Amino acid sequence: MTPLKSRIIKHIKTAGALPLAEYMHWCMADAKDGYYANQTAIGSKGDFITAPEISQMFGEMIGIWAAETWDALGKPSPFNLVELGPGKGTLMHDLLRIGNAVPDFLVAAQIQMIETSDKLIKTQKQTLNEYDNITWHKSIQNIPAQPTILIANEFLDVLPIRQYIKTGNEWREHSISLDDNDALIWVLGAGVLEADSLPPNAMNEPDGAVFEISTIREAFIANTSNLLKENTGSAIFIDYGHGKTGFGDTVQAMRNHGFADILKEPGLADLTSHVDFDSLGKIAKETGLNIKPLQKQGEFLIKTGLLERAGQLGHQKSPEIQELLTQQAERLALPDEMGDLFKVFEFGTL
């Protein structure tokens, strides 16, 4: 039994069934027993591997995007270079390698890292120890009011979501309770989703259909949008998900590079779900920002120069290194690898 599991059981016994979003919040973000406080999440020794950990070329392509965006914004100085959920700090490190080559970019950049995990803040400080213009924040609310370029990779998918299950004429909240042996089980909670929060065709769905919403993701997009609207700037969110709001259960637990049971070992497995970019795009649009058409990660990387960079890095290197670079580029960009599932969601004042 994980320490978090006994705390969750105690909570359910006193307060009743726990909605999925609250369960996910405990599992992922609890400061003492949560996943990001304790686990070696990212990398070949962790539970999953992210694009920046696959290849330096990923962060470098984001670096090219950031430098071009800064140029298009009129080279504001100073400006915020913000990253949400920077993991091990690898993406920022690779981005800054490109930024270093752009005159005045690094002088103008005030780097703002938004991270809740003390353990990962420590790792990020080690990765980025050659830079001194970096500030860490626990919340996006504390960023200085000035032009902003914001990046986030595989950040939205870790934020809690709510699930509602079609039951007769209602959509009831998917929640977690206990059986007679104190095992965690799925139940339908008391919460009901109002019709105006559902897509128009929701009542045609069969019983058991699942609808997901994430108020915390929406809040991050709303906060980002306000920051960009008030100060000018652009944001890029890269994550797996879909471009059209739909139905279906997308929550998954990952441990040791394989799927795990969501309820079995709270705090030990990584819980994520697919991002609904359709609903998030509407929020950014309502703020008055321009939304770029959603791109596939593969298309974005190739357009930005992935293959040219692979060629440059492999120039006059051994066949083994060249083969490794080819494999990395394929993993990031091929449609049946990360290329199609991962999307690039870009919006801002440009």
List phi, psi (to 5°) of 97. -60, -40
* Interface with ligand SAH in residues 151-180 (CB under 6 A): 153-155, 158
Q: Are 102 and 68 in contact (CB under 8 A)?
A: no
Of 38, 77, 110, 116, which one interacts with ligand SAH (CB under 6 A)?
116
The alpha carbon of 180 is separated from its chain's Cα centroid by a whole number of angstroms, namely 37
Mark the segment that binds ligand SAH (CB under 6 A) among 69-77, 115-123, 228-236, 319-327: 115-123
Structure tokens at 159: 């934020």
When asked if residue 52 is in the footprint of ligand SAH (CB under 6 A), the reply is yes
Q: Measured from the CB of residue 40, what is the shortest distance to ligand SAH in angstroms?
A: 12
When asked if residue 42 is in the footprint of ligand SAH (CB under 6 A), the reply is yes
Mark the segment that binds ligand SAH (CB under 6 A) among 108-116, 247-255, 280-288, 313-321: 108-116
Of 39, 50, 225, 328, which one interacts with ligand SAH (CB under 6 A)?
50
Of 30, 60, 115, 212, which one interacts with ligand SAH (CB under 6 A)?
115
Closer residue to ligand SAH, CB minimum distance, 36 or 345: 36
Of 86, 99, 339, 348, which one interacts with ligand SAH (CB under 6 A)?
86
What single string gives the DSSP state of each residue in 56-122?
HHHHHHHHHHHHHHHHHTT--SSEEEEEES-TTSHHHHHHHHHHHTSTTHHHHEEEEEE---HHHHH
The alpha carbon of 260 is separated from its chain's Cα centroid by a whole number of angstroms, namely 20
Q: Measured from the CB of residue 43, what is the shortest distance to ligand SAH in angstroms?
A: 9
Total interface residues for ligand SAH by CB under 6 A? 20
Q: Measured from the CB of residue 170, what is the shortest distance to ligand SAH in angstroms?
A: 30
Residue 24, Cβ density class (10 Å: 0-12 exposed, 13-18 middle, ≥19 buried): buried
Closer residue to ligand SAH, CB minimum distance, 61 or 91: 91
What single string gives the DSSP state of each residue in 195-216?
GGGS-TTGGGSPTT-EEEE-HH
When asked if residue 298 is in the footprint of ligand SAH (CB under 6 A), the reply is no
Where helices occur in the chain by DSSP H, the ranges are: 3-15, 20-29, 35-38, 51-54, 56-72, 90-100, 105-108, 118-127, 215-231, 277-286, 297-304, 306-314, 319-333
Q: Are 295 and 287 in contact (CB under 8 A)?
A: no
**Nearest partner of 61 among 69, 112, 248, judged by Cα:** 69
Q: How do beta strands 233-242 and 275-276 pair?
A: parallel
Of 19, 46, 85, 160, which one interacts with ligand SAH (CB under 6 A)?
85
Find residue 166's DSSP bridge partners.
171
Structure tokens at 208: 């058991």
When asked if residue 66 is in the footprint of ligand SAH (CB under 6 A), the reply is no
- Give, in degrees to the nearest 5, the angle at Cα 74 between 68 and 78: 95
Q: Measured from the CB of residue 202, what is the shortest distance to ligand SAH in angstroms?
A: 29
When asked if residue 113 is in the footprint of ligand SAH (CB under 6 A), the reply is no
Q: Measured from the CB of residue 26, what is the shortest distance to ligand SAH in angstroms?
A: 13
Closer residue to ligand SAH, CB minimum distance, 172 or 296: 296
Closer residue to ligand SAH, CB minimum distance, 2 or 223: 223
Give the binding site for ligand SAH (CB under 6 A): 29, 36, 42, 50, 52-53, 84-87, 91, 114-117, 120, 153-155, 158
